[in-house]
Amino acid sequence: MNQSNKKKIEVLKRFGVNYFLQDNPRYWYRNNDANHTTKKDAVENNKLKKLEEVIDDLQKHKTSLSKNAKNLVVFDGNLDSKVMFIGEAPGKEEDEQGKPFVGKAGKLLDKMINAIGLKREEVYITNVVNWRPTDNRTPTDDEILEFLPFLQRQIDIIKPKFIFLLGGVAAKAILSTPLALGKLRGKWHEYKSLNLDESIPTIASYHPAFLLRSPQYKKHSWEDLQMLQEKLKNVS
């Protein structure tokens, strides 16, 4: 394997692709008994290539946020997921490891995902902003708009059946609304893209970090998760 491929594999593995990626990109997904890929493998291969382009573009993108951050943080999980969880931005632990939701908030998110019968490796997890804002501050409106195109590309690539928004920043970015999260949660919304044939049912709820600070809101978050769980029952 040449050095270029080795580097690409390591980058993709760091962003969670190792859940179904072997040591070599299954060019990828080639059947040992055939000279061509299956339809599903071809789709996964195409997603990998497009996500690699997003990662490359993010690494080339000049932003003031990268000056004080250690690692670009893009995604974790399954590229064939029915559900995409979208958070705010990396925190200290995420910046250290280069993966979203790995700190205390990440552990709570794992429990939330498990509570509706899923595993972390079965869903796709990302953030609106891909570099850690200094001192874990909330991303500005300009920063949200700066990184939104990269997030929209991820949604177009993954094509999830449902989107679960974690916190006000994600809700503002995806739903394009100034409304407070309390007025948005508890109901379904629609995410629309010119690059997708159908809109994606989307629900907004509280960020795990907020729930750690204000556990009295966990019951509302659980209600939102149950709404997602009910929808998933009708999806093959």
Does some domain include residue 37? no
What pTM was computed for the model? Answer: 0.86
Report the C-alpha gap between 164 and 73 in whole angstroms. Answer: 19
Map residue 93 onto helix, strand or coil.
helix
Q: Look at residue 39 in the predicted model and tell me its pLDDT.
A: 74
Report the C-alpha gap between 111 and 114 in whole angstroms. Answer: 5
Beta bridge partners of 76: 125
Tokens of 155: 């949604």
Report the C-alpha gap between 206 and 113 in whole angstroms. Answer: 14
Contacts of 36 (CB under 8 A, 6+ apart): 30
Does some domain include residue 61? no
The CATH number covering residue 168 comes to 3.40.470.10
Does some domain include residue 59? no
- Give 152-182 pLDDT, tens digit per residue: 999 999 999 999 999 999 999 999 999 999 9
Whether the CB-CB separation of 124 and 113 falls below 8 Å is answered with no
Report the C-alpha gap between 110 and 208 in whole angstroms. Answer: 10
Does some domain include residue 58? no
Per-residue pLDDT of the chain (236 residues; tens, 9 = 90+): 555 555 555 656 655 554 444 334 443 334 444 544 577 778 888 999 999 999 999 999 999 999 999 999 999 999 999 999 999 999 999 999 999 999 999 999 999 999 999 999 999 999 999 999 999 999 999 999 999 999 999 999 999 999 999 999 999 999 999 999 999 999 999 999 999 999 999 999 999 999 999 999 999 999 999 999 999 999 87
Report the C-alpha gap between 235 and 129 in whole angstroms. Answer: 29
Q: Look at residue 73 in the predicted model and tell me its pLDDT.
A: 98
Beta bridge partners of 166: 205
Whether the CB-CB separation of 84 and 164 falls below 8 Å is answered with yes
Pairing of strands 124-127, 188-191: unpaired
Q: Look at residue 20 in the predicted model and tell me its pLDDT.
A: 41
Report the C-alpha gap between 99 and 224 in whole angstroms. Answer: 25
Does some domain include residue 178? yes
Degrees to nearest 5, angle at CA 203 with 206 and 44: 110
Q: Look at residue 8 in the predicted model and tell me its pLDDT.
A: 55
Q: Look at residue 10 in the predicted model and tell me its pLDDT.
A: 61
Does some domain include residue 165? yes
Does some domain include residue 221? yes
How many CB atoms sit inside 10 A of residue 67's CB?
A: 8
Q: What is the number of structural domains in the chain?
A: 1
Does some domain include residue 57? no
C-alpha dihedral sign at 151, 156, 157, 158: positive
Q: Look at residue 158 in the predicted model and tell me its pLDDT.
A: 97
Q: Look at residue 27 in the predicted model and tell me its pLDDT.
A: 39
Tokens of 42: 């071809």
Range(s) of the domain holding residue 140: 68-232
